[in-house]
Amino acid sequence: MNYSAELSELIEEFQEIDDKMERLEMVFDLADEVNLLPIEDWNDATRVHGCQSEAHVKVSLVDSNVNFLAGADSKLVQGLMGILTMAIHGINADEVLTLTPDFATEMGILNSLSPSRSNGFRNMFDKVMNEIKQQM
Amino acid sequence: MRDEFPILQRKINGYPLVYLDNAATTQKPSSVINAMNDYYLNSNANVHRAVHTLAGEATEGYESCRTALKSRFNANKAIITSGTTEAINLVAHAWGRANLSDGDAVILTEMEHHSDIVPWQMLAKEMNIELRYIPVQKDLTLDMDLFEAAIDGAKLVCVVHISNVLGVCNPVADIVRIAKANGARVLLDAAQSAPHQDIDFMELGADFMAFSAHKMCGPTGIGTLLVADDAFSEMQPFLGGGDMIETVTIHGSTYQKNEQKFEAGTPRIAEAIGWTEAIKWLSGIDIKSEHERILQSARWLASQLREMGMTVYGRHDDNDAAVVSFLHPTMNSEDLAHLLDARGFAVRTGHHCAQPLLERLEITGTVRVSLYFYNTHEEVVSFVNYLSEILERFA
């Protein structure tokens, strides 16, 4: 799979970390990468189902590039949203649609999470991809 | 004691496991694991019918569990179930359907686990029975004035002995006395109390008492419903099948007279054998002094958490369980649990299957630390130290 330079670098950074705590700390830090979807815009349409936390995403296309807004009541979930932001935000929709959740597996982050959290990430990924497809 | 629990030697992410999720399930001593293993290696057979040696050993092993339960909890009838949930559902189906009718009331409390709410809601839909919920007050106790006001016309009172969220021990002797004076039967959810207290079922006077093996060092998938003799005589069979019958013809069947009437199908033989060993293990320790020891640790933990700015939900009176539920003012509970797990600390987060209670407390979940007899105060201290570190780095 060919990833963007930024995403490839991020995958490598995660792969270099052995300690689960440090990996989680890095996910926490990536919460700052999210383009925040304001809480007042959270609704049923933006909700990521199957996630134990409140997690909301909104996708639009600007000149065929993905504009990704997100927000969650958990910093860890928001960190996962930050990773997805780095993977898809501002990138051409056709290119984004070639992505699979494998990049998160390669990072080793899904193994660091509870099954419910890693399922939540997959649900978020699927929701985002479906919404991109619908808007193309 | 810790040497008897092999899993406690395990490392999680390179750090020693500190298992603080005992209200969800407890770990198992080698004696329980070995007994189950030995059954499958040497005695595996079906129970009650066949005359061969293995069947005899299996039957003896299975029935030894019933004997141990009756002896430890002073009961005449012990129906073996898959756990507390099935035991409560059994009361709803085997007793409720036969003894409740249109307009009858069943009393529940807001402190109940979902397993003592949902079966009654399902029955209420079918049978037009009224469910009356006793509220939990600000001091985390049941409103006994409202209980006394609600008892008139009630046929059954369902109450949790110890809350799985708060650790609060309810005044069950008073509840039984008031219920009996008003002609109501009492179902006690003892899932959290049976592992922590010596309970005399007959002396307590409840009609039904449900609990599980896995919260008292026994295997998962097995529990019991202790039943008083007169309540037992009012129960009708629920699940039909093998082992619960005396005779079957194409015109009809007759049923066993004893507990087997409610144990259709091949029972949980290995689990029963394992549970017998767990009961032996529990009988070998001084529960009262062990309970006092871990309750002291829970009290210390609660005070430390309050000093750290957490909201603690619990009072930790003498009979309460060593359970500490808490919330950080800003940090998400699951985030906290993930960070704790990174250093081997196992805690529970979420609604703990008690959403009506959490609604009363105006919260959606807590972080819960629950101690058992193999936990040490040093583990609790290390938990506090690591939690402080997390808060410094992440909060």
pLDDT of A134 > 70? The answer is: yes
By CB atoms closer than 10 A (0-12, 13-18, 19+), residue B179 is buried
Neighbours of B139 (CB within 10 A): 7
- The residue-averaged pLDDT of B60-67 equals 96
Could you give the C-alpha distances from A46 to A55, A70, A128, B127, B269, in angstroms and in order?
8, 9, 10, 40, 49
pLDDT (tens digit per residue) in B299-353: 999 999 999 999 999 999 999 999 999 999 989 898 999 999 999 999 998 777 8
pLDDT (tens digit per residue) in B89-133: 999 999 999 999 999 999 999 988 888 888 999 999 999 999 999
Could you give the C-alpha distances from B207 to A58, B200, B233, B237, in angstroms and in order?
55, 12, 11, 17
pLDDT > 70: what percent of chain A?
A: 97
Please name every residue paired with B346 in a beta bridge, in sequence order, or none if there are none.
B19
On whether the CB atoms of residues B314 and B323 are closer than 8 A, the answer is yes
pLDDT of B189 > 90? The answer is: yes
Query: Which domains occur in chain A, in start order?
Result: 5-135 (3.90.1010.10)
Active site residue B353: yes
- The residue-averaged pLDDT of B234-245 equals 88
Q: What is the pLDDT of residue A1?
A: 62
DSSP class of B168: P
Is residue B334 less than 8 Å (CB to CB) from chain A? yes
On whether the CB atoms of residues A54 and A98 are closer than 8 A, the answer is no
- The residue-averaged pLDDT of B262-288 equals 96
Q: Number of A to B CB contacts under 8 A, please give it.
A: 41
ipTM confidence: 0.85
Cα gap B341→B326, rounded to integer Å: 17
Strands (E), chain A: 55-62, 65-72
The distance of B379 to chain A (nearest Cα, Å) reads: 19
Q: Do A117 and B332 touch (CB under 8 A)?
A: no
Give the pLDDT band of residue B134 (cuts 50, 70, 90). very high
Q: Do A114 and B334 touch (CB under 8 A)?
A: yes
Give the pLDDT band of residue B355 (cuts 50, 70, 90). confident
Q: What is the pLDDT of residue B117?
A: 87
Q: Do B342 and A74 touch (CB under 8 A)?
A: no
Q: 3-class SS at B162?
A: strand
Q: Which among A21, A76, A113 has CB closest to B343?
A: A21
How do the domains of chain B map onto residue ranges?
Answer: 2-20+286-394, 31-283
The whole-chain average pLDDT of chain B stands at 94
pLDDT (tens digit per residue) in B5-44: 999 999 998 999 999 999 999 999 999 999 999 999 999 9
Burial letters for A85-106: b for 16+ Cβ neighbours within 10 Å, e otherwise? bbbbbebebeebeebebebbeb
Q: Which among B13, B335, B343 has CB closest to A76?
A: B335
Kindly name the residue from B65, B169, B217, B353 that is annotated as catalytic: B353
Please name every residue paired with B188 in a beta bridge, in sequence order, or none if there are none.
B159, B209
Asked, colleague to colleague, whether B2-20+286-394 and B31-283 share their fold, the answer is no
Cα gap B104→B50, rounded to integer Å: 45
Residue B154 half-sphere exposure toward CB, CA atoms < 13 A: 27
The distance of A3 to chain B (nearest Cα, Å) reads: 28
pLDDT of B256 > 70? The answer is: yes
The whole-chain average pLDDT of chain A stands at 88
pLDDT of B364 > 80? The answer is: no
Helices (H) and strands (E) counted in chain A, each on its own, are 6, 2
pLDDT (tens digit per residue) in B377-389: 999 999 999 999 9
pLDDT of B214 > 90? The answer is: yes
The distance of A52 to chain B (nearest Cα, Å) reads: 9
Q: What is the pLDDT of residue B182?
A: 94
The distance of A60 to chain B (nearest Cα, Å) reads: 29
pLDDT (tens digit per residue) in A7-66: 888 888 888 888 888 888 999 999 999 999 999 999 999 998 876 678 999 999 999 999
Q: Which residue of B has its CA nearest to A26?
A: B394
Q: Which CATH class is domain B31-283?
A: alpha beta
Residues of chain B contacting A79 with CB distance shorter than 8 Å? none
Is residue B393 less than 8 Å (CB to CB) from chain A? yes
Q: Do B334 and A53 touch (CB under 8 A)?
A: yes
Q: In chain B, which residue ranges form alpha helices assigned H by DSSP? A: 30-38, 53-73, 84-90, 97-99, 118-127, 144-150, 172-181, 201-204, 229-233, 269-283, 287-307, 333-341, 355-360, 377-394
Q: What is the pLDDT of residue B144?
A: 94
By CB atoms closer than 10 A (0-12, 13-18, 19+), residue A61 is middle
Q: What is the pLDDT of residue A8?
A: 87
The distance of A103 to chain B (nearest Cα, Å) reads: 21
Residues of chain B contacting A73 with CB distance shorter than 8 Å? 332
Residues of chain A contacting B337 with CB distance shorter than 8 Å? 114
| CATH homologous superfamily, domain B2-20+286-394 | Aspartate Aminotransferase, domain 1 (3.90.1150.10)
Compute the CA torsion angle B267, B273, B276, B281 (nearest 10 deg): -140
Run of H or E residues at B263 = none
pLDDT of B80 > 80? The answer is: yes
Residues of chain B contacting A52 with CB distance shorter than 8 Å? 334, 350
Q: Do A117 and B334 touch (CB under 8 A)?
A: yes
Q: Do A114 and B338 touch (CB under 8 A)?
A: yes
Q: Do B334 and A25 touch (CB under 8 A)?
A: no
Q: What is the pLDDT of residue B25?
A: 98
Could you give the C-alpha distances from B102 to B12, B94, B234, B301, B358, in angstroms and in order?
54, 17, 18, 48, 31
Q: Tell me the angle at which helices A5-15 and A75-88 cross, rounded to the nearest 10 degrees.
A: 140
